[in-house]
Structures are given as structure tokens and as C-alpha cells.
Amino acid sequence: MKTWHRFAACIALGLVGGAAFAVHQVRGDYADKQVHNGQWSANTNQGTASASALTRAKVALNGLLALPAKEAMYFITRTDSEGRPLEGRCTYTVTGGELDARWWSITLYKGEGWLVKNAANRWSVAGNAPARDAQGNWSFTVSLNPTEGVWLPTGGTPHFDLTLRTYHPRGALLNDPANAKLPTVTRKACA
């Protein structure tokens, strides 16, 4: 093999390998300033000039035009409380207590973050929708078919994620999101 053949082969491999690794990272779970809390993850550095190239690329792909943390914290989960991927054929109960923010909602997305078609034309549950018990706890159901109480349809999409938006977060939600009290997503049954 000639010298230039060796250079050409290595440079071509480097080009493809470097680009492929970048795409893999952008689509993967890791990012700097990524906070994990149970099954939820959030990024505290998005939208800021100090964000790394990887964080900036990930946010551009999965949440373009997202607000910085002091304005809104976004928590995303793609799994239930036992780590199993969220599936559109299954029924889940989402339970939680009061969240220390001005307003919150939980929205169901497929893929990189797209609303799912469903007959009810419902894509999110706002914080004021579920009834509270005496302790301030609430719950709602995520499932393919309608249920009693507050219901968020999966639209039958094979896999989905849930995004918890908290606007004007305060306390642990803003300052210690890894230890803030967040909702739990429990799988009940699968069709």
C-alpha cells in the first residue's frame, strides 16, 4: 500500500468516526451540568453562553429555544420508576405533591420531542388540573384509552417521554434539582 493510501484511509476513517461519535453523543444521554433525579433528568446550563458545545447541540436538537434555568426548569423522563422505557400501549399513574414553582405542566412527546396525535386532542396536564387530596398530593393517568379522572393519552405511540415544565422554579427545584421532590411514574399494566 502506498503512503498516500494509508493517509487517505486513516483520514477518511477519522472524518467518519469523529462525526459519527458526535452524532452519537448528541443523541445520547450525557451532557455536562446534567442533573439526575430518579428517572428524571434536567440540564441546568441550557441557553447560557457557558454551555458546552455538546450541551448546546443537544438542546438545539431536543429543546430548541428552551429557557434558562432561572426562568424554567425542564425535567424529562423516558422511563418509569423502575427504569423501563415508557410505552404507548401501557398504562401509567403519575403521582406527586406540590411543586415549588409558579406553574407546572407535564407534556407527552414522541421521538425528539413531538406531540402525538390522539382523538382527545390532549397533549399535556397542567398543574391546576388534577384534584388534590388533604396532603396536597395529586395523580393522573397516562394510557392509550380514556380513564376516570385526569387522563393523558399516549396516542398509541410505541415509545414516549414526559416533560415536566416548571416556570419560575424556586427552592430545591431551582437550587438543588437532583434532590427536589419530583413526580413518580408507575407502570400499572400493558396491553
Name which of 128 and 179 has its Cβ closer to other proteins: 128
44 near other proteins, judged by CB under 8 A: no
The residue from 29, 36, 71, 97 that contacts other proteins (CB under 8 A) is: 71
Query: Which is nearest to 161 in space by CA: 140, 128, 185, 182?
Result: 185
131 near other proteins, judged by CB under 8 A: no
Four-residue CA torsion sign, 6, 8, 12, 18? positive
The Cβ-side half-sphere exposure at 106, using a 13 Å CA radius, reads: 31
CB of 133 to other proteins, least distance (A): 22
173 near other proteins, judged by CB under 8 A: no
Name which of 22 and 190 has its Cβ closer to other proteins: 22
Say if residues 71 and 168 touch (Cβ distance below 8 Å). yes
Question: What is the DSSP secondary structure assignment for residue 148, as one 8-state letter?
Answer: S
CB of 82 to other proteins, least distance (A): 25
Four-residue CA torsion sign, 138, 143, 146, 147? negative
Say if residues 184 and 77 touch (Cβ distance below 8 Å). no
Q: Using CB under 8 A, list all residues that contact other proteins.
A: 3, 6-7, 9-11, 13-19, 21-23, 25-26, 47-49, 51, 53-54, 56-57, 59-68, 71, 102-103, 105, 107, 109, 112-118, 121, 123-124, 126, 128, 155, 163, 165, 167-168
